[in-house]
Amino acid sequence: MNARPETGTTTAHRVVVLGAGYAGMAAAIQLAARVKGREGVQVTLVNAQERFTERMRLHMTGTGQRSAELGIPELLEGTGARFVRGWVTAMDAEARTVRIDDDRLLHYDTLVYALGGASDTSTVPGAEDHAYTLSSAQDAELLAARLGRLGSGTVVVAGSGLTGIESAAEIAEQHPELTVVLLGRAGPGAAMNPRAKAYVRAALDRLGVQVRAGAEVVKVLPDAVELAGGESIAADAVLWTSGTRVSPLAAAAGLTVDERGRIVTDAMLRSVSHADVYAVGDAAAIPQGYGVMHGTCQGGMPTGVHAALSIDRVLKGKQPKPFRFGYYHTPVSLGRHDAVVQFTRPDDSPRRIHLTGRMAARYKETVTASPWPTYGRMKKMPASGTFWPRGGRFTRVGEAR
C-alpha cells in the first residue's frame, strides 16, 4: 500500500511528537508555547485516541468509577500545535518519516518518541488471552465491565508493584462481594521504609485482600492461574500488572535500544544513534543512573519538558543541556480515603518520612490532578514548566533499572 504524505508547510522545521501521555503532552505543549508566533516551526502531536488517558486513574476506571474525560485537542488549544489522530504503524529513521494507520506519511525534522510502556502479557502463557490489563482506558473499561457482571467470585491481581497494590485495594473497596488475591514475588511495598510497608500490608488486610508474597504465576487459564510449584488458584478474573513492554517500532526503525526495547539516549535525551530523535518518559533508557523512568507524571513530564527545551535551544543555534532530575515521592492509593506517600531521595530510595491515611489520600489526589494546571501554566508561561526537583550527583549512583 502506498502511503499518502501529509500536507503542510514544507519550509517549516517539522517537530513530530509520537504519543500523548504525560511525557508527550508536556513536550508538545512546552515546545509549542515556546515557538508560538515564531515562523518556521511546526509542532504536531500524534496519538491513537483523541481522549487523554489518565494513567494514574486507570485502577479507578477499572472498577467502574468515572473521571473527567479530557480531549487532547482541548489540552492543545491555544498552543498552535496540531493534533493527528491515528496509530503509528512504522518509522523510517533514515527517511525521517512516520507511517500513520498504514496509509499516511508524516515527515519530520525532529522527532520526540513518547510511546510509553504497556502491560507485558507475553512472558507467561495464557496471559495475553485470558488476563485483563490497565494499559489503556479501554482496557480498564473492559475490566470494569467484567467485575460488574460478577456477583461473587475471585479476582487475582498478578503483580505486587504499585499498580497491583492500588488495583487490589480499589477492587476490594468497590466490590466487597469479591475475593481479591494479590500475587507477587515480593511483598507489597517492598521498596518502602519498614513502617510505610507495614501500613500498606495492614490496609490491604483491612480491605480483605489476600496477599501471597513469593508467588510466581507461570500460566493463566480461563478460570485459574497456575503458580510455580504446581499450585492452582481459581480465578473469575485475572488482572495482569506484572512487568511492562514497549512498542517494537524504535528497534524496527534501527534506533539503538536497550534489552527492553527502550531508546538509549545521551544525557540530553537524544537517541545515541539518531540525534534528531528524542526519547522521553518510560520509552527512554537514560544514562547517569536514571535507567528507565517511571511511567508516571513525576518522571514523564520532566523528560518531555526537557526534550522541548533542548529542541528549542537547537533551533536557536545553541547546545542543549544535560537532563537532571531527582525523585521525591511515591504516592500509593489504598482505596478512596486511604493512601501512603513514601518520600524518597533523588535516586528513588526511601526516606524515613512518610504520610498515611486521609492526609496521604488528599496528597495523592493533588498529585494525580496536578498535570492539568501544569499544562495550563505552560501555555501562558512556558518557563513555569521547567521547575522540577533536581538530583544532581545523587541520581548517578544507581544502575539502569
Query: What does the pLDDT look like over 169-199, one tens digit per residue?
Result: 999 999 999 999 999 999 999 999 999 999 9
Q: Which amino acid is at 207?
A: L
Q: Which of 285, 288, 298 is nearest to 344 (CA)?
A: 298
What's the pLDDT tens digit per position in 67-103?
A: 877 899 999 999 999 999 999 999 999 999 999 998 8
Average pLDDT over residues 102-125: 94
Per-residue pLDDT band for 288 (boundaries 50, 70, 90) equals: low
Q: Measure the N-to-C terminal CA separation of the chain; round to a whole number of Å.
A: 40
Closest CA to 209 of 163, 156, 140: 156
Positive or negative, the CA dihedral 175, 177, 183, 187 is positive
Report the amino acid identity of residue 148: G
**Predicted confidence band at 11 (pLDDT cuts at 50, 70, 90)?**
confident
Integer Cα distance of 329 and 344 in angstroms:
5
Least confident residue range of 49-53, 68-72, 273-277, 352-356: 68-72
329-333 sheet: strands from edge to edge: 329-333, 339-344, 350-356
pLDDT of res. 398: 34
Q: pLDDT category, 396, cuts 50, 70, 90?
A: very low
- Average confidence score pLDDT of the chain: 91
Taking only the tens place, the pLDDT of each residue in 326-359 is 889 999 999 999 999 999 998 889 999 999 999 9
Say what the pTM is: 0.91
CB atoms within 10 A of CB 383: 12
Confidence check: pLDDT of 400 > 80: no
What is the rounded distance in angstroms from the CA atom of residue 308 to the CA atom of residue 22?
13
Q: Are 98 and 191 in contact (CB under 8 A)?
A: no
Residue 279 grid cell:
526519547
Which domains does the chain show, CATH number per domain?
Answer: 9-117+246-325+370-396 (3.50.50.60), 121-243 (3.50.50.60)
The three cell numbers of residue 292 are 528507565
